[in-house]
Chains A and B, each alone.
Chain A
């Protein structure tokens, strides 16, 4: 299933007018001019604002909630404690849809705590008020009486016998242990016989997702008919509809969920949050709209965080550096509660700790623990950046042990191009790829000979600006997901996606997609697909989404699934429309449908292009129904629900060149080369944008971002002055290329690109920093590699090895 890029590019350009060509996003004019409506732009008459009183303590008994001062504030109508609110949801809790093991501990999670606050930011009371300002003043005026309890903040000591317990009733801080060890004896044997072994420990710091738009909710009740319209800045309106029905007992057919323009999510809006349930329950109970807008600092603790893992990875290799086994023990931080997919996130990486290498023996075990911190959950890449980081850092260590270059150790271990479909030792079947060609292309682009010459010169000159080269070859699993595979992982839903293609009487087209964009450009890409298939202008196609009244069926956007699952559904629905159109055309031309061809938007009998029926004529004929084939239903519309047969496996090699100032610890990315194989591309402009943003988000973990907590569980980084999201000024100049091996899994041969950059970038950058400093004795670097951390690391090496390089 390997195709050179030249061949596929030719195929793409000859077959399609729009697909494969850069096209400006139709979404952008409204976003750039401020016309787009986000949740905070919506208002409803008589709405009440919710202010949330959040725990200032990491772990404390709630002895009392005193709302008297708050009620003195003009506009504040009610102050409600967790106990006051409990009747609104009874015993039912916020949902976790992924019980990864039968014995997984999943303590009840109420929207507002009733007796014990379990992390800083845990909701302990709410205020209802007539304005956002009054709600904020009211929440600030509520007095909560706490009795402090000892907090669990370090995951490596959370399982100690004397550790305090986050959930007393569980008797342990462990949520679950999940092993994936197909053949333990073979792994042990590989390590026993290894010529080289590598054993490393890496820390994946917690990250704050920080989308440009924080969360927001507006719940509007239909009192007469028991209806609820729930507006939310969410990635998952369809999932939210089901879960709101289940959690609050509102009949599902009475619920409509709308995600208006959503300003990014990166996974943190793939959830069902306390505020969504709170606003819905209060709106239904009080009979007025109830809304809430998250503040930036509030988002630091009220919205899930990403990562939060300690990784132990071991490699066994023969004398040539061919890896024979990988063994991983993962400790994952769940935070105080399990949110929607919290427990599954580390396991999404659990199949990929062999990276893009042909490693025959596999051992992975994840133990997940509760801590007194904000729950973790999906954040761009969700498990796969962590897995890639571990294997790519360890492969560099192996290269040093074997005495070869980082590119050579990778080449010796890549899954061969002729091995696809490739069955991995972790049990997946990889669709397509040519990892060596991708790496060769990246190496050529990075001018490695020149860079290494300069690197050597600076080392010899004892320069304080050292150069480092960092590789990251990655493969990820995207296109979540085959429903039966999800069933085998105990996931609480399927992985299909739905699409409707509706041709209007005037030959304009509505595409209804069940995947929910929040910055990805679905409207542009979907219109290009449909336009090419129907032979019409993309501007004659409208793409509708994100409102369960318009798009009732769907499973939304996450896990780089939109194109390979949702786009495929659109592709297939368009085929169904064409099939019906062909029957109408055959009827009108009095020809056999098998003799028709569809060229430039018209059906004609092969060989006689003069007798043609244009698409517009068929659209109108389907609408009037005056002259359709016997028994055919009027109108031209098709619906498809597509369940993918497999994941897709995007891959690539990124190379970061960094300059490290050994005096100040400053790290600058001076060059960044990315060669990615995301399969066939619909809109290369969107692909580039995803890689640009993704790489910066991965580099941010490597160099800037860190959700810092004190030892007693107080978060320190609650604003964007302290939590360092990089800006355009910090972005490197990216040099991109692609190599295409179409995925055989779906008809368009696409794979997905939403997370690739983030998955690849962190290990590339850290490998480069370590490479730069290796002459000084540095062998590892904690993330983020801040100037202070780099300086400390250099100093520690010097202190440990007196007389060493300075």
Chain B
């Protein structure tokens, strides 16, 4: 497959990227790792007129501890999350999930900012960050703003980012309570058919590929908080959701998988009613 023609510009700084975004509006797309965007362009599902390459913004590649949370630069690669000692100690769920994204080539190119901006409901890291209660820092023409991740995902491949904003940082609270990630797929490199992330012993439970955005399993979280058993809480994992159907799983099977995997994740995370 061959993409439609496009212009290519290199951003020299986040401010330059924002300026280019301001100039080109919704005709432009930021290019970071490119492992989601480029395939969509090759299938002509995405036809941006301008690609703004932010992949060279080395200053946005970092993982730092700050005041009880971990600050991660938007251009940090999945493989850097996977192998970070700081994350392994402070947010082990995130390091563990990063290790399950795609294959090694994808993990060496893909970035945390890119995967959030792409807002694919089938991606692993956005759901993990949702369970962890992360905060997203977006830079626009008027400076930075913080977006709670619960407000970030607005629809299928859509986020709260404005056309002239780019993600510069992701802040994740230190989270060492019981955690687990269940990724169910047919081939190791594939997106999850259904995934379940559990953070802090079950106070954060989120779902991959169970709707148009990454989702919190709210009914499960509330049931656990109200004293339900893990098994009872898990049966509520797909409550009120309208999961998609595709070649790998119809909606009914997806709901079933969500329940099974939520129970497994909660058990592995050592969750119990509070």
Known interface pairs A295-B2, A297-B1, A791-B253; A786-B187 also in contact (CB < 8 Å): no
CB of B2 within 8 A of CB of A133, answer yes
Does any Cβ of A come within 8 Å of B186's Cβ? yes
Q: Is A451 an interface residue (CB 8 A)?
A: no
Contact: B260 with A664, CB < 8 Å?
yes
A716 at the interface (CB under 8 A from B): yes
Inter-chain contact B247/A727, CB cutoff 8 Å: no
Q: Are B248 and A787 in contact (CB under 8 A)?
A: yes
Q: What is the distance, in angstroms, from A786's C-beta to the closest C-beta of chain B?
A: 7
B2's nearest neighbour on chain A, judged by CB, is A136
Within 121-160 of A, Cβ neighbours of B (below 8 Å) are at 132-133, 136-137, 140
Give the complex CA separation of A295 and B186 in angstroms: 25
A192 located at the interface, meaning its Cβ lies under 8 Å from any Cβ of chain B in the complex: no
Q: Are A137 and B4 in contact (CB under 8 A)?
A: yes
| Nearest neighbor of A719 in chain B, beta-carbon distance | B43
Contact partner of A664 among B1, B43, B184, B250, CB < 8 A?
Answer: B184
Provide the residues of chain B in CB contact with A726, threshold 8 Å.
Answer: 187
Which A residues, 725 to 753, have Cβ-Cβ distances below 8 Å to chain B?
726-727, 729-730
* Number of residues of chain B lying within 8 A (CB) of chain A: 23
**Cβ-based interface call for B188 (8 A):** yes
Using A716-B247, A787-B193 as known contacts, say yes or no to A727 and B260 having CB atoms under 8 A apart. Answer: no
A45 close to chain B: CB less than 8 A: no
Q: Which residues of A contact B248 (CB under 8 A)?
A: 786-788
Given contacts A137-B4, A295-B1, A730-B188, contact A717 B260 (CB under 8 A): no
Verify if A663 is at the interface (C-beta below 8 Å from B): yes
- Interface residue tally on A, bucketed by range: 20 to 34
Contact A787 B189, beta carbon cutoff 8 Å: no
CA A708 – CA B247 in complex, angstroms? 9
Q: How far is the CB of A56 from chain B (nearest CB, A)?
A: 14
Chain A residue numbers with a CB within 8 Å of B187 are 704, 724, 726-727, 729-730
Return chain B residues, CB-CB under 8 Å to A295: 1-2
Give the residues from 1 to 35 in chain B that come closer than 8 angstroms, CB to CB, to chain A: 1-2, 4-5
Cα–Cα distance between A708 and B103 once the two chains are bound (Å) = 25
CB contact between B189 and one of A137, A663, A729 (< 8 Å): that residue: A729
How far is B190's CA from A137's CA once the two chains are assembled, in angstroms? 30
How many angstroms between the C-alpha atoms of A136 and B1 in the bound complex? 8
Chain B residues, Cβ within 8 Å of A722: 247
Contacting A at CB under 8 A, from B174-223, are: 184, 186-190, 193
B79 to chain A, nearest CB (A): 17
Mask for A757-796, Cβ within 8 A of B = 1, else 0?
0000000000000000000000000000011100110000
> Does B249 reach chain A (CB closer than 8 Å)?
yes
List B contacts of A296 (CB < 8 A).
Answer: 1
* 471-500 of chain A: CB within 8 A of chain B: none
* Interface status of A47 (Cβ within 8 A of chain B): no
What are the interface flags for A346-364 relative to B under an 8 Å C-beta threshold, 1 for contact and 0 otherwise?
0000000000000000000
- Once bound together, how far apart are the Cα atoms of A786 and B247, in whole Å? 10
B54 beta carbon closer than 8 Å to chain A: no
Show 8 residue pairs from A and B whose CB-CB distance is below 8 angstroms, ordered by the A residue.
Answer: A137-B5, A140-B44, A295-B1, A666-B184, A716-B247, A719-B43, A787-B186, A787-B253
Residues on B lying within 8 angstroms of A by beta carbon are: 1-2, 4-5, 43-44, 103, 184, 186-190, 193, 247-250, 253, 256-257, 260-261
5 closest cross-chain pairs (CB), A and B: A729-B188, A136-B2, A663-B260, A788-B253, A295-B1
